[in-house]
Amino acid sequence: NIIQICSTCIRLLDSHTLKTVSEWRPAPGERIDHVGCNKTQCVVSDGNVITYLSIEAGNIKQISRVELDHDVACVDITPLGDSNGASKYCAVGCWVDGSIRVYSLPGFQQLQTHELGGEVVVKSILMC
């Protein structure tokens, strides 16, 4: 399968026919600003709202959603260790306070915060 992400939707495409198998759209008035994705999950943000999506059995399904204190600058859900391709964590960089936060998935329980301090602007993040 192929996952296509644009500002208005996420599409799961059949890799042979390129036809849309499943589609997810953000709530009315929202858009997709930042995304972290792997073969079974997507996390998207719009401003300070983050949404977690599952990709399984040819469907994109919204699992959870959380509103943060600050706007999101970047997200990552790279699977770590022996995870069978799914991430247990979501790393988020925030604009205003220049912090990096780690949340558990699927419920977005905040596990750790690290403020970088100074005039740092977080633009990209990767868990490895």
125/112 Cα distance (integer angstroms): 15
Task: Decide: pTM greater than 0.95.
Answer: no
pLDDT tens profile 34-91:
999 999 999 999 999 999 999 998 999 999 999 999 999 999 999 988 767 899 999 9
Q: Which residues, including other chains, have CB under 8 Å from residue 93's CB and lie 6 or more apart?
A: 72, 73, 74, 75, 99, 100, 101, 122, 123, 124, 125
Place of tokens 């972290």: 36
- Measured over the CA atoms of residue 30, residue 109, residue 115 and residue 82, the dihedral's sign is negative
The confidence band for 118, taking pLDDT boundaries of 50, 70 and 90, is: confident
Decide: 11 and 4 in contact? Cβ < 8 Å: yes
